[in-house]
């Protein structure tokens, strides 16, 4: 069933790529602006081999971006959950942070890049800070909602059995909020990913997929730009499947708190 669905979804993509290939090879499309997909793949291969065996240029770009994204997402989640739990449990904390978050959340990470570059210069500090910020907001919001929706009977059950306040937070509020937090993490990952690629356009020195794509564009290498975009699609797909879906199936799905897709 699932295999068939995947096959059906692949058909339009294959037709699109074949059409592109044919038009480009037949010079009906400008091959400099629209290089054929096979050329793009070959160029990705070349980039992969470049610098080998010491270090592959392509892997360096990918690795650097992945490292920045993972670090930002982890820090963003930790900060978001801590602030979210505090806001969810305490009215005063909520009233303090809520207006700040409401004002800051709509600002796209890339819009803050110039400011952060002034503060911290080009490089990892700026990129990761903006990544953390973009992952943070959705996690805070969903964590607050999760904590507030807790089943009071479960809290009472834990208190009855002698659990101390910190134990109740860790053993009841947090696992209860997990379903919500995961939604926040998905949104946070998406936002963080976009922010980091975009900030790498302007603030990365030498490595990162955003840098690779920007640099290729400046050198009029459309094939590398396309290759980079293709990689963005593939890597994000893997990130979501490998990280989030796996985490979900091991936790909230196993606990019967969501039905698995």
Partner 1 sequence: MLQNENAPALIQIRDLAKEFDPQSKNTVEALRDINLDIEEGKFTVLIGPSGCGKSTLLYLLAGFEKPTRGSLLLDGKPVEKPGPDRGFVFQDYALFPWRTVLGNITFGLRSNGWSKADADAKAREYIAMVKLNGFENAFPHTLSGGMKQRVAIARALAYNPRVLLMDEPFGALDSQTRKHMQQELQRILMQTNKTVVFVTHSVIEAVFLADRIVVLTARPGMVKGIIDVNLPRPREYTDDSYLDIREAVLSLLSEEVEKELEMDGM
Residues that bind partner 1 (CB under 8 A): 151, 153-154, 156-164, 167, 171-172, 175, 178, 251, 254-257
User: Which residues are CB-contacts of 30 (< 8 A; sequence separation ≥ 6)?
Assistant: none
Compare residues 246 and 254 and give the one whose CB is closer to partner 1.
254
Helices (H), the chain: 2-25, 37-49, 57-89, 91-104, 113-120, 124-148, 152-160, 165-168, 174-203, 209-218, 222-239, 246-250
Compare residues 176 and 214 and give the one whose CB is closer to partner 1.
176
Min dist. Cβ of residue 2 to partner 1 (A): 24
Min dist. Cβ of residue 81 to partner 1 (A): 16
CA distance 85 to 92: 13
Min dist. Cβ of residue 52 to partner 1 (A): 46
CA distance 117 to 221: 27
Compare residues 125 and 251 and give the one whose CB is closer to partner 1.
251
Compare residues 49 and 170 and give the one whose CB is closer to partner 1.
170
Neighbour tally for 101: CB within 10 Å: 16
Cβ atoms 167, 105 nearer than 8 A: no
Min dist. Cβ of residue 223 to partner 1 (A): 49
CA distance 190 to 25: 35
Distances (CA, A) of 110 to 24, 200, 208, 228: 34, 10, 16, 19
Min dist. Cβ of residue 177 to partner 1 (A): 11
Min dist. Cβ of residue 206 to partner 1 (A): 45
Cβ atoms 32, 25 nearer than 8 A: no
Compare residues 50 and 250 and give the one whose CB is closer to partner 1.
250
Distances (CA, A) of 146 to 87, 125, 179, 180: 11, 31, 8, 5
Compare residues 144 and 158 and give the one whose CB is closer to partner 1.
158
């Amino acid at each position: 069933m699932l295999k068939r669905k995947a096959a059906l979804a692949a058909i339009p993509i294959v037709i699109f790529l074949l059409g592109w290939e044919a038009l480009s090879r037949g010079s009906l499309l400008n091959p400099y602006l629209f290089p054929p997909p096979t050329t793009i793949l070959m160029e990705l291969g070349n980039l992969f081999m470049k610098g080998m065996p010491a270090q592959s240029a392509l892997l360096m770009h990918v690795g650097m971006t992945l490292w920045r994204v993972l670090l930002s997402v982890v820090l963003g989640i930790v900060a978001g959950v801590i602030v979210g739990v505090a806001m969810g449990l305490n009215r005063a904390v909520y009233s303090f942070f809520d207006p700040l978050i409401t004002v800051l959340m709509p600002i796209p990470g890339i819009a803050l890049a110039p400011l952060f570059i002034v503060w911290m210069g080009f490089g990892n500090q700026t990129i990761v800070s903006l990544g953390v910020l973009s992952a943070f907001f959705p996690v805070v919001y969903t964590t607050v909602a999760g904590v507030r929706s807790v089943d009071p009977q479960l809290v009472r059950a834990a208190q009855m059995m002698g659990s101390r306040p910190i134990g109740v937070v860790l053993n009841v509020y947090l696992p209860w909020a997990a379903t919500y937090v995961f939604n926040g993490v998905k949104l946070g990952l998406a936002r963080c990913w976009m922010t980091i690629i975009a900030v790498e356009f302007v603030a990365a020195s030498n490595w990162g997929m955003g840098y690779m794509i920007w640099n290729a564009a400046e050198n009029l290498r459309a094939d590398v730009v396309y290759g980079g975009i293709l990689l963005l699609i593939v890597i994000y797909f893997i990130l979501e499947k490998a990280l989030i879906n796996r985490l979900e199936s091991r936790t909230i799905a196993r606990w019967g708190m969501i039905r698995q897709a």
